[in-house]
Amino acid sequence: MSFDFKLPDLGEGITEVELRRWLVTAGDTVREHQPLLEVETDKAVVEVPSPREGVVERLHRKEGETVQVGEVLLSIAEGKPELQQQPQQPPQSPPRPASVGIVGSLPEAEEEPVETAIEAAPFAPPASVEVLATPMVRRLARERGIDLGTIKGSGPRGCIRPEDLETVAAAPSGAGPEERVPLRGLRRTIARNVTASQRTTAFVTSMEEVDITEIFEMRTREQGEVESRGTHLTFLPFFIKAVQHALKEHPLLNASIDDETQELVLKRHYHFGLAVDTPEGLMVPVIRDVDKKSIIELAQAVQELGRKARERSITLEELKGSSFTITNYGHFGGTFATPIINWPDVAIMGFGRIVERPWVHRGEITIRKILPLSLTFDHRATDGADAARFLGKVLRYLEDPALLFLDCG
């Protein structure tokens, strides 16, 4: 008996995934709960296990394709694997259609070249077959001068999606050489999320500069001690702690907005999303309970989550539930920026490159370590005055890091 295994609901509101890699091939014997394939969701790479034991009859989708929840991934001939693999007698009656063939039986000789010819031929749907596409896709195709009849859709039943148009859009007349690269996997997820954030939030960015010479000196003094414990101490744990302390006095920025109920959800916890650059794009793992962690514990969490994000071994649980977001673009040489809010959070703090600058300190002009700051907030959650006071509070903690240790929270 053949069982069609469909992409299950992976939770977190995920509706589609990219098939990253098959872990089995047709003819393989599989056990229940054995990983069958790797898929890339909006946030992580996930292995999908087999719900039953049997023999793989057919893989219905190719690596790199986008698969919707509920679409068939592969067919499994159920039953005891040893019975599935018994050699079978050649059919005495006319052969059945290929769609109901049994694993282990050989296809008819005349079928193989037909299948090969179909795979090699360019896609050209019969004139009598209606092209499946939404009104929006049809409008985009008209605007770009694209014939939908020449496109093989990647959606259910061959439905043409907007991204399918990107791969075939004709170059403008007189344009030079160009290459079109489909947005896939994490890059596509980032594009979708930042667009949704910009479309949904009323974002405003405020910028400041702060003298962090004392933090610089403190880090230099304690680096050896921290490294003896197996952890590298960066400036980021100090920045995180300063923001957490300031948020205690400005709770409107440690929040999210429920757009359906039009409610501001104030978070009574401090779970910070940390923007991490990976070879495949930006990921935002979450450091939980920042208020309960010491500087060293934060340094350990930053190091571990960064490693997991870059190796794509991070779990979905570690990528959700932030109440505020931190991004350290100064690590790559940036100074000021306008960070995009990690929706549904209402604020994100960006830290630029530390530079030596002439600065007035205790009435004298001297060379100090100066850090640029950028705060982007959702104006629906609070006003500029509150955001400015919050930013000023962060500056105070960074200028005088001893204040961070007067309150253990």
CA angle 277, 281, 282 (to 5 degrees): 50
Q: What's the rounded mean pLDDT across residues 182-188?
A: 78
Lowest mean pLDDT across 81-90, 123-132, 399-408: 81-90
**More reliable by pLDDT, 277 or 365:** 365
Average pLDDT score over residue span 299-320: 90
**Residue 253 has what DSSP assignment?**
G
What pLDDT does 242 receive? 96
pLDDT in tens, 314-345: 888 899 899 999 999 998 888 899 999 999 99
pLDDT confidence of 83, banded at 50, 70, 90? Answer: very low
DSSP per residue, 174-225: T----------HHHHHHHHHHHHHHHH--EEEEEEEEE-HHHHHHHHHHHHH
- Taking residues 301-322, report their average pLDDT: 90
User: What percent of the chain stands above pLDDT 90?
Assistant: 47
pLDDT of the residue at 102: 33
Cα–Cα dist 269/254, whole Å: 8
Return the higher-pLDDT residue of 66 and 322. 322
Q: What is the mean pLDDT of residues 288-315?
A: 92
Across 4-13, 216-225, 233-242, 312-321, the highest mean pLDDT is recorded for 233-242
pLDDT-derived band at 155 (thresholds 50, 70, 90) equals confident
pTM: 0.64
In this structure, of 50-64, 88-102, 245-259, the range with the lowest mean pLDDT score is: 88-102
Q: Which residues pair with 49 in a beta bridge?
A: 35
Q: Give 94-102 contacts, CB < 8 A, sequence gap 24+.
A: 100/2, 101/57, 102/57, 102/77
Minimal CA–CA distance to 375: which of 398, 409, 403?
398
> Where does the pLDDT of residue 384 fall: very low under 50, low under 70, confident under 90, or very high at 90 and above?
very high
Q: Is 379 a catalytic residue?
A: yes
Instruction: Estimate the crossing angle of helix 213-227 against helix 236-249, to 10 degrees.
Output: 120
Mean pLDDT of 280-299: 93
Question: pLDDT band at 99, cuts 50/70/90?
Answer: very low
Q: What is the mean pLDDT of residues 138-156?
A: 81
Q: Residue 166's pLDDT is what? A: 74
Mean residue pLDDT of the chain comes to: 83
Closest C-alpha among 46, 42, 317 to residue 192: 42
pLDDT at 173: 52
pLDDT of residue 279: 81
Highest mean pLDDT among 83-87, 136-140, 307-311, 346-350: 346-350
- Distance between CA atoms of 79 and 28, rounded to whole angstroms? 13
User: What pLDDT is attached to residue 120?
Assistant: 42
- Selecting among 232, 269, 361, 379, the annotated active-site residue is 379
| pLDDT value for 333 | 85
Which residue has better confidence, 132 or 75? Answer: 75
For residues 276 and 318, the answer to whether their CB atoms sit within 8 Å is: no
Cα–Cα distance measured from residue 226 to residue 299, given in angstroms and rounded to the nearest whole number: 9
Amino acid at 383: D
The Cα–Cα gap between 254 and 140 comes to: 40
pLDDT score for 73? 92
Higher pLDDT, 60 or 15: 60
pLDDT(303) > 90: yes
What value does the mean pLDDT take over residues 293-297? 93
